[in-house]
Amino acid sequence: MPLADLPLIDLYIGEDFSEFRDKPGDDAPRLVVPEEYAEEVREIRAKCYQLYKEHKQKEFAFPHGSDLYRVTAIPDVTYEPILILSRAAETVPALSSLGLPAHIQSIIVDKDARGLILIGGDQGAGKTTTMAAMLIERITTLGGFGLALQDPVENNLRGLHGHGRIIQQPVEGVTGYADAALTAVRARMKTISFGEVRRDPEGLNASTCVDLAASGCLILATIHASTLQGMIERLIELATPNMGDKTADAVATALTAIVWQRLDTSGKHVRPVITALSLAEQQEATAIRSLIRDQKLHQLNSFAQQQATRKLWSGR
């Protein structure tokens, strides 16, 4: 029986154990991989160890059979890494199935949309899935080209989508995003998904994301944060080493929409619960940007609630 038949989300492989989780979220139980998969697990472990030692990367993509895994190698006290393999979904769900508010979905398919759409949440909240669904929806609807930058590659987006095409590029390391994104702009790519806004000593990763969004591109990017307010705080913090005291103003100018999500695992089906904030309407956007520039970020939630209530009553 191949490992592909095991309903796993994450696979954990150490020197003396192989375990998995079959549900997303931190509260998913730890399960032991059945013995009938032991030989295949040993094969995966050997190949991943070899890649880890050859390339010195703590995260990398690993294709196995029909599945694609994102591998994270964590050094153990034995100096042999523990491998965490996250299986990529075979297909990206339709954007309409994710519960994203209609006024945010309309930005995704607006041919004139520019700026930064920031998707945040805790680890395992489905941010990458939401970003991929946004990119596919835009390219399918509007055609043209989109570029997906990922480190490592987490899902297969490359190829034709409707009348458009997505090009998928793996980037190496945190600062690799900056080089790849600037090359994409020189190639006249205007829709770019930015796998993750992360920390680097010079702030190049985050500042590149902000700069491109302010220069006429539509950038989709994920960021780790526990609240909607925390998303903006973290983006400003990560970009400041390169942008200095102009960071808050640059972030305020670049943002087009903010989407924070968590996964609700309490019911029969796992579903994202989303809080969203649009900066599409000029008068409201001016007020929101002013709050970001003044770093009065605790007031952003009230704008998100007002938008959600207004759209609910208007049916839009």
Residue numbers in the chain where pLDDT is lower than 70: 25-26, 90, 172-175, 267, 311-316
Are 16 and 77 in a shared domain?
Answer: yes
What pLDDT is stored for residue 313 in this prediction? Answer: 47
HEC assignment per residue over 136-165: HHHHHHHCEEEEEEECCCCCCCCEEECCEE
Domain containing residue 41: CATH number: 3.30.450
Which class for 193: exposed (0-12), middle (13-18), buried (19 or more C-beta within 10 A)? buried
Query: 241 and 135 in one domain?
Result: yes
Domain boundary among 63, 87, 111: 87
pLDDT (0 to 100) of residue 311:
58
* Same-domain check for residues 134 and 100: yes
Residues 6+ away with beta carbon under 8 Å from 18: 11, 12, 32, 33, 37, 38, 41, 45
Say yes or no: 143 and 213 in one domain: yes
256 and 163 part of one domain: yes
182 and 272 together in one domain: yes
- On whether both 162 and 184 belong to a single domain, the answer is yes
Same domain, yes or no: 229 and 301:
yes
- The Cβ of residue 79 has, within 10 Å, a number of other Cβ atoms equal to 6
What is the pTM (predicted TM-score) of this model? Answer: 0.80
Please indicate, yes or no, whether residues 77 and 104 belong to a single structural domain of this protein: no
Strand order in the sheet with 10-13: 31-32, 18-21, 10-13, 81-87, 67-75, 59-64
Q: Which pLDDT belongs to residue 174?
A: 60
pLDDT at 316: 47
Number of domains present in the structure of the chain:
2
Residue span of the structural domain in which 244 resides = 95-314
CATH of the domain at 124: 3.40.50.300
> Of 54, 87, 120, which marks where a domain is finished?
87
Residue 33's pLDDT is: 95
User: What pLDDT, on the 0 to 100 scale, is given for residue 155?
Assistant: 78
How many CB atoms are closer than 10 A to CB 80?
14
Amino acid at 151: D
